[in-house]
Structure 1
Amino acid sequence: MLSAFAPGLVLAPAAHAEPSVGVWLTTQDGRQLLARQPDAEFGSGGGHRTITVDPGETHQTMTGFGAALTDSSAALMNASPRRDELLTELFDQREGIGLTAVRQVIGASDFAREVYSYDEVPPGQDDYDLSEFSIAHDEADILPLLRRAKELSPELNTVATPWSAPGWMKSGGSMIGGELPAQNYQVFADYLVKFVQAYQRAGVPIDALTPQNEPLNTQESYPGSPMAPDAQAAFVRNDLGPKLEQAGLGTEVFAYDHNWDDVDYPNQVLDAAAQYTDGAAFHCYGGDPSAQSAVHEAHPDAEIHLTECSGTESADPANTFRDTLAWQADNLIIGGTRNHASSVLLWNLALDPAHGPVLDGACTDCTGVTTVDGGDVRYNAEYYALGHASKFVRPGAVRVGSNDLGEVRNAAFRNPDGSIALIAHNPTGGEQTFTVSAQNRAFDYTLPAGGLATFSWPG
């Protein structure tokens, strides 16, 4: 069974007179799991294909790396006798991987134990003054975990997303199916503002909102609500943006929040609601990460965020760790950030061995960052893929220049303290030897087939 890295892996300064390079490695067979390797030494490299790290070439500023604390994840984690260990392994930088971002669902998603909103009324009734609004549901499992995560990771950044408005606001009277009619945009904006205010009072500030999860998804079996780009632009421009401003909230708004295979949607919202739209959010289930760069080129001042991607069980479950590590390293941790993502968020922080709890009609083979079954906890490939970034690339870090070799995919970052982190993945079937050059110093390294490594050194 895969487990978290050993306690001896905590970050510690290297005992060398000259700066050395710390090396951490995860192998595709799981024998090395974010494991500290012997330091590499500058002055020992040259003659191989070279990754040149240029701290003077700067790109986006990083917000963080993390995953979503869905209703399903929170219930599993909070009920586990290993709850405190889980939170430490996930959010503490020294003892764990130091996640610095979390996505929070506003009401129920597909990964929930039941369908719920924060303003429930009997069928056929409404509540336009939102007198029944309450986040009491989240006080049982979600908010206690978020508050503890914030203690362990004080820089934690939280983006929140609704799957659906309360059913009484929608055309079909249900959170499942139907759309939000334009005449209810104002009350839905009020609802989202009340959510942000309630979470802030509960000790969990909301840093950003997206107006609608997967607005092009017409799923009819779990909460959702299609929203065309012109409708989202109007909602943000006329209702959500002004109401957040009037409430004195600094919460950002990210457009779209759907797959890489559509760049027209986020561009249209960024064009039409520029005053109140801070960036665009993407999912990984269609297209490729280059879509993020296309939106960045059209709107260079807009933030880009990768807000959802779930791993799935491979056809041969024995290959799940290998397959997930490789795909997420290349497309999310490296591909996402090389295409301007300021944050990378996976989907469920925890699922059970049956890939749930999950509502009918939703994903039945999704995998979480962890698998939790009471006191049995497994740390999955997602945990290690995230850890290779989150433990070493801190909020405020800037992605810096580095050339992608193809045989060795990579991304480099300069932290606020000046230290450099280089994340490298070997997607080939054989080991790859390469040189890393930075500021007229160089070292060599051989990365095994499928290996994922992070290199860290003082600036």
Structure 2
Amino acid sequence: MIHSTTSDRRRAAVLAAGCALLTVLATAHPAGARVPGAEAAAGVRQWTTDARTTGAQLGAPAAVTPASAPADTTVYVEPDLRFQKLTGFGASITDSSAAVLHRLGKKDRDALMKQLFSPREGNGFSMLRQPLGASDFATSQYSFDDMPPGRTDFGLTHFSVAHDRAQILPLIRQAKALNPRLRIIASPWSPPGWMKTNGSMIDGKLIDDPKIYDVYARYLVKSVQAYAAAGVPVDYLTVQNEPQALLRADYPGTDLPVAQQAKVIEKLGPALKAAGLRTKILGFDHNWAEHPFDVQAHVDAGEDPELAYPHDLLNSRAGKWIAGTAYHCYYGDPSAQTALKAAFPDKDVFETECSGGGITRTIGAMNNWSRSMIFWNLALDEKHGPHTGGCTGCDGAVTVDSASGAVRYNTNYYTLSHFSRFTRPGSVRIAANVAAPEGDTTPLQTSAFGNPDGSTALIVHNPGAEARTTAIVAPGVRLTTEVAAGATVTYTWGRR
């Protein structure tokens, strides 16, 4: 006889919920079914973007224009079926972003920051992911405790966040003043070079020595303490950006296997607690699946690619100190998040880095338990920089022209807008199901949220090449409207 534990039942429920929901809704509301009752569109508003959207279209939501033709697709919103709470949406004030923003005059910079972070007058970004030390988007290579070659600093007597005081920390404080509910995730791209096998922040591994695990944990604690002292409390902390990146030739990075990350966290968890810090640890901080380039690099080095890294980490002794798992969107499928949530239902999931992923990956992340979507650089110049290496074609949420100071709002900005303008931290994802015509190869993509104030936000994206006449059905809402080809629409109703 098999006895199931409470944990087993929770895991099964997480996986079963999505499958059962789709089955029940598809049975109750088959594609092409007539929407019952009179049209109820009063109070429903929409905010639309497409490939032609420009900065001139940063307007308020408009009333929905009902369609006259019958619907070919129906979107059902079920607010009583609730999933994860949102922490927020945002980007990263990298060293490069800070440099670009500080090229603007104060008046123009203040206006742009308000447009990005103010919940009332702008996009309402509510999360930032901040590199601890240099990343590929930095104006120089630096950590918070650099030492000359051959020298160490186990006492961390040379530790300093002076580099960040000039531009980065003032911008984060300004963002937090504009949006007091702003949350910070901090991530190092590399420990200081003297803690690593090659003596460099670029590539290499953390030295496998208990003294190194201890000093690196203390280094991270001091980083959190220094930021807090500067008026920037750190809410979440990862110990290594992209720990499966074995070969990074021109920017900071560290190959950190599961066993080593676990050893760092076993030191870090108690150290944060002893310091009286409420900062939560997130594990992993890499893609939904390991990229074939990184898999091959590990195989070539005679190492295990560790394809189940986030599962193995949570199963380790360090798991008790880990509040959740951080993912990136660059490779794999977001369903990996649901599989992890099913295995560890008491652990959260966050999306901490995405660039160029667009609306499809954002909706995918949200529909697979993510509490956040954080795109990469907040701002870059017209040359996709400045940067020290890595991505040469990444866009920021905005582009600031280095000569004129003109601001261009990019796809990343508008993608986040569809969520951050119409949800608030503490919102809950609710069920949204698409009943599409048989044989539809590009069905609508949807995600929906219930706000604490009782309002609802439904995001609908049409990936197809033709407009879709769409019925939206929810408690108190029945309307038929058109979603243009390639367009994304956020529909809102209820109290605001």
Q: TM-score, normalised by structure 2?
A: 0.82
Amino acid at match of 1:242: P
CA apart distance, 1:290: 1.3
Matches within 5 A, 1:187-206: 187-206=215-234
2:465 maps to 1:429: yes
Amino acid at match of 2:314: L
Query: What whole-Å deviation, never above 9, does each CA across 1:227-277 have from its counterpart, x for those lacking one?
Result: 1112212221x2111111111111111111111114611111111122101
Q: For 1:87 and 1:423, how far apart are their aligned partners in 2?
A: 25
Q: Closer, same or farther in 2 for the Cα pair 1:78/1:199, shift >3 Å?
A: same
Which residue among 138, 151, 159 is the counterpart of 1:133?
A: 159
- Secondary structure of 2:453's counterpart equals coil
Q: Closer, same or farther in 2 for the Cα pair 1:223/1:308, shift >3 Å?
A: same
Query: What whole-Å deviation, never above 9, does each CA across 1:156-184 have from its counterpart, x for those lacking one?
Result: 01100000011111111111122111320
Which residue of structure 2 lines up, in the alignment, with residue 20 of structure 1? 43
Which residue of structure 1 lines up, in the alignment, with residue 331 of structure 2? 286
Matches within 5 A, 1:212-251: 212-218=240-246, 219-236=248-265, 238-251=266-279
- Superposed CA RMSD in Å reads 2.0
CA apart distance, 1:199: 0.6
Q: Closer, same or farther in 2 for the Cα pair 1:363/1:38, shift >3 Å?
A: closer
CA apart distance, 1:404: 3.5
- Secondary structure of 1:344's counterpart equals strand
CA apart distance, 1:126: 1.2
CA apart distance, 1:340: 0.8
Q: Closer, same or farther in 2 for the Cα pair 1:382/1:122, shift >3 Å?
A: same
Which residue of structure 2 lines up, in the alignment, with residue 322 of structure 1? none
Which residue of structure 1 lines up, in the alignment, with residue 483 of structure 2? 447
Query: Is contact 1:26–1:34 with CA below 8 Å preserved after alignment?
Result: no
Which residue of structure 2 lines up, in the alignment, with residue 207 of structure 1? 235
2:137 maps to 1:92: no
Which residue of structure 2 lines up, in the alignment, with residue 355 of structure 1? 384
Query: Is contact 1:69–1:102 with CA below 8 Å preserved after alignment?
Result: yes
Query: Is contact 1:46–1:443 with CA below 8 Å preserved after alignment?
Result: no
Which residue of structure 1 lines up, in the alignment, with residue 393 of structure 2? 365
Q: For 2:414 and 2:462, how far apart are their aligned partners in 1?
A: 15
Which residue of structure 2 lines up, in the alignment, with residue 8 of structure 1? none
CA apart distance, 1:293: 1.2
Which residue of structure 1 lines up, in the alignment, with residue 366 of structure 2? 337
CA apart distance, 1:48: 4.6
Which residue among 310, 317, 332 is the counterpart of 2:355?
A: 310
Q: For 2:172 and 2:196, how far apart are their aligned partners in 1?
A: 30
Which residue of structure 2 lines up, in the alignment, with residue 401 of structure 1? 431
Identity of aligned residues (%): 46
Query: Is contact 1:21–1:41 with CA below 8 Å preserved after alignment?
Result: no
Amino acid at match of 2:127: A
Query: Is contact 1:105–1:163 with CA below 8 Å preserved after alignment?
Result: yes
Q: For 1:18 and 1:427, how far apart are their aligned partners in 2?
A: 24
Q: TM-score, normalised by structure 1?
A: 0.89
Q: Closer, same or farther in 2 for the Cα pair 1:404/1:158, shift >3 Å?
A: farther
CA apart distance, 1:61: 0.3
Query: Is contact 1:45–1:436 with CA below 8 Å preserved after alignment?
Result: no
Which residue of structure 1 lines up, in the alignment, with residue 7 of structure 2? none
- Secondary structure of 1:23's counterpart equals strand
Which residue of structure 2 lines up, in the alignment, with residue 383 of structure 1? 413
Which residue among 452, 473, 489 is the counterpart of 1:416?
A: 452
Which residue among 73, 78, 88 is the counterpart of 1:54?
A: 78
Q: Closer, same or farther in 2 for the Cα pair 1:290/1:18, shift >3 Å?
A: closer
Matches within 5 A, 1:62-211: 62-81=86-105, 82-183=108-209, 184-211=212-239
Query: Is contact 2:429–2:450 with CA below 8 Å preserved after alignment?
Result: yes
Instruction: Give the count of matched residue pairs.
Output: 425
Query: Is contact 2:381–2:401 with CA below 8 Å preserved after alignment?
Result: yes
Which residue of structure 1 lines up, in the alignment, with residue 302 of structure 2? none
Range moving further from structure 2, 164-173 or 32-41: 32-41
Which residue of structure 1 lines up, in the alignment, with residue 375 of structure 2? 346
Query: Is contact 1:67–1:348 with CA below 8 Å preserved after alignment?
Result: yes
- Secondary structure of 1:248's counterpart equals coil
